[in-house]
Amino acid sequence: NIDFENIYKKDKDALTQFVREITPLLREQGLVVSIDVSVPDGSETWSLCYDRKALAEVVDYVALMTYDQHWATSPKAGSVAEITWVEENVKKVLKEVPREKLLLGIPFYTRLWKEEVDENGVVKVTNPRVFSMDAAKKYVEENNAELVWDEKSGQYYAEFEKDNCVYKIWLEDPVSVNLKSS
């Protein structure tokens, strides 16, 4: 699996050429070759640096990283991968990558968001903590938070107050994973 991230857009063709040159060598070793790509929207170093169509012509599989909708320094709290966001991006990528070559990369982690109101009444989001799903469930239980199904995200969601702050978390589980993979 080839996983290059934070490539400059100006190096897009060089990345594609590298994959063209290394793929036959990897196949000679009996390997199946895949490459990770991010969703089509975003910055020049996160998303616009991939020629998904050309890469799909070379490798056996293209793994679409459908996570980090709300990333570590996101200005607002949110799910790592809401179902509607995942679906939208899969549809975009299917315009460039044949469906039989597309792999869906889904998150098995989440972020715990902390929101606090400053002296001017502005809600500030601090850098969230990252949890595995098991650790997140345990944290929710320890804080007596109630998990409720959130239709918009297609995930379970919990919110609770502690130390004058609001904490928010979205969780993947078998139901949410099945929604994304169907």
Active site residues: 5
Neighbour tally for 148: CB within 10 Å: 9
Provide the residue type at 100 as one letter.
E
Contact status, residue 88 vs residue 113, Cβ threshold 8 Å:
no
Could you give the 3-state DSSP secondary structure of residue 128? Answer: strand
Six-digit token string for 115: 């929101």
The helix or strand, by DSSP H or E, that contains position 114, with its residue range, turns out to be strand 109-117
Nearest alpha-carbon partner for 94 in 84, 81, 103, 105: 103
Neighbour tally for 87: CB within 10 Å: 14
Mark out the alpha helices in 29-129 (DSSP H runs). 52-58, 83-94
Task: Say how far apart CA 179 and CA 170 lie, in whole Å.
Answer: 15
Task: Say how far apart CA 154 and CA 51 lie, in whole Å.
Answer: 30
